[in-house]
Amino acid sequence: MYFFCIMVFNTILILISIAFLTLAERKVLGAIQLRRGPTNVGFFGLAQPFADGLKLLGKETIFPKSADKFLFVFASFMAFTLSLFAWVVVPFDEYAVLIDVSFGVLFILIVSSLNVYGLVLAGWASNSKYAFLGSVRAAAQMLSYELSMGFVLITVLLPVGSLNLSDIVIAQSDVWFVVCFLPLALVFFISILAETNRTPFDLPEAEAELVAGYNVEYSSIIFAMFFLAEYSNMIFMGSVFASIFLGGWLPLFPGITNIPFGFWLGLKVTGLLFIFIWVRGTFPRYRFDQLMGLGWKCFLPLTLALFIFYWVFFNLIF
């Protein structure tokens, strides 16, 4: 019962974070494009995300005539559930983690791999060419960049000797891993942009050639599930990056201990999410062959070479 209550509380916090992340994205993009963004609903437009949510809840759910209705709905719930389930191993503070398992990094890789199935099912169940092409793109893109992410994580684990995220954070008490593994941190950040289908790697949802990609046939609440899953994955991947490279819950300045629970992790994730939005407002979309070439011809050889280099280095030192 206690675990269920914590999960409900955690889910509510994530949903509120998603709501204000969408507002922040629209405000930041508005500033980049020299416009104001949402201003009318609530003070400074703060109620706009809730108005958008109510609008989606009130819309009619439309099923394509030739769609597989069960898989059509199941795909959206699967994507949303997996995006929430992944949070159980993220440490918000010391001893503040829902499930403190010894294989936390492996669990993250497993859940991120399973996310592909929700997108593939959505494209298949829609029985639409555009949706199916978008889902195939999403699967190819995620699998390609997960290889690079895997090598990055294996390399970072060399000096830690543990797959537990809390142990990784504690190992950064003296120096953050972003200092020691700066090239890997850059590769990992670009890879999570591709993993979450964010600009400039939003090829599965490319409006120019695929209309809206795998969710083109979705409407109402089941479309909102995909929308929530995407932004939940953004916040989650930001939390993973902060835990692995930026010291997680550790303070920015040593000696500060009277800060509320999870403040430092939240501050670091907020900074990373701002970069997510900044990249969206700055860079043009890649072509799909450029995207795959970057993953297979650049990131994979680079991460493999860096893994060998760091492995030799740590063996010589220790």
In this structure, the answer to whether residues 209 and 307 fall within a common structural domain is yes
Positive or negative, the Cα torsion across 97, 150, 196, 188? Answer: positive
- Using CA atoms, how far apart are residues 228 and 19, in angstroms rounded to an integer? 9
Q: What helix, strand, coil percent values describe the chain, rounded to 5?
A: 70, 0, 30
Same domain, 184 and 49: no
Do 45 and 76 have their domain in common? no
Overall number of domains in the chain: 2
Write the DSSP symbol of residue 175.
S
Q: Which domain holds residue 39?
A: 1-53
Is the domain of 27 the same as that of 66? no
Q: Could you give the CA distance from residue 155 to residue 159 in angstroms, rounded to a whole number? A: 8
The pTM score is 0.91
Same domain for 99 and 19: no
DSSP 8-state class, residue 213: G
| Cα distances (angstroms) measured from residue 296 to each of 41, 76, 97, 109, 304 | 45, 29, 35, 18, 11
Which residues lie below 8 Å from residue 60, measured CB to CB, with a gap of 6+? 219, 220
Which tokens in the block code for residue 19? 């709501």
pLDDT recorded at residue 39 = 82
What does the pLDDT look like over 77-119, one tens digit per residue?
Answer: 888 888 888 888 888 877 778 777 888 888 888 888 888 888 8
Q: What is the pLDDT of residue 129?
A: 82
Q: Specify whether 202 is located in the same domain as 307.
A: yes
Among 134, 315, 144, 303, which Cα is nearest to 218's? 134
Same domain, 178 and 313: yes
| Residue where a domain stops, chosen among 38, 53, 68 | 53
Is 179 within 8 Å of 270 (Cβ atoms)? no
Judge if 305 and 172 occupy the same domain: yes
Check residue 152 and give its pLDDT. Answer: 92
Structure confidence at residue 198 (pLDDT): 84
The Cα–Cα gap between 297 and 9 comes to: 43
- Taking the C-alpha atoms of residue 22 and residue 277, their distance in angstroms, rounded to an integer, is 10
Task: Give me the residues of the chain with pLDDT under 50, please.
Answer: none
Provide the pLDDT for residue 250. 84
Q: Judge if 224 and 200 occupy the same domain.
A: yes
What pLDDT score does 6 carry?
A: 66
Q: Answer with the one of 53, 77, 96 that is the final residue of a domain.
A: 53
Quote the pLDDT of residue 215: 79
Residues 19 and 162 in one domain: no
Indicate if 35 and 174 belong to the same structural domain.
no
What distance in Å separates the CA atoms of residue 19 and residue 25, rounded to the nearest whole number? Answer: 10
pLDDT at 76: 87
User: In this structure, are 38 and 140 located in the same domain?
Assistant: no
Domain stops at, among 18, 36, 53 = 53
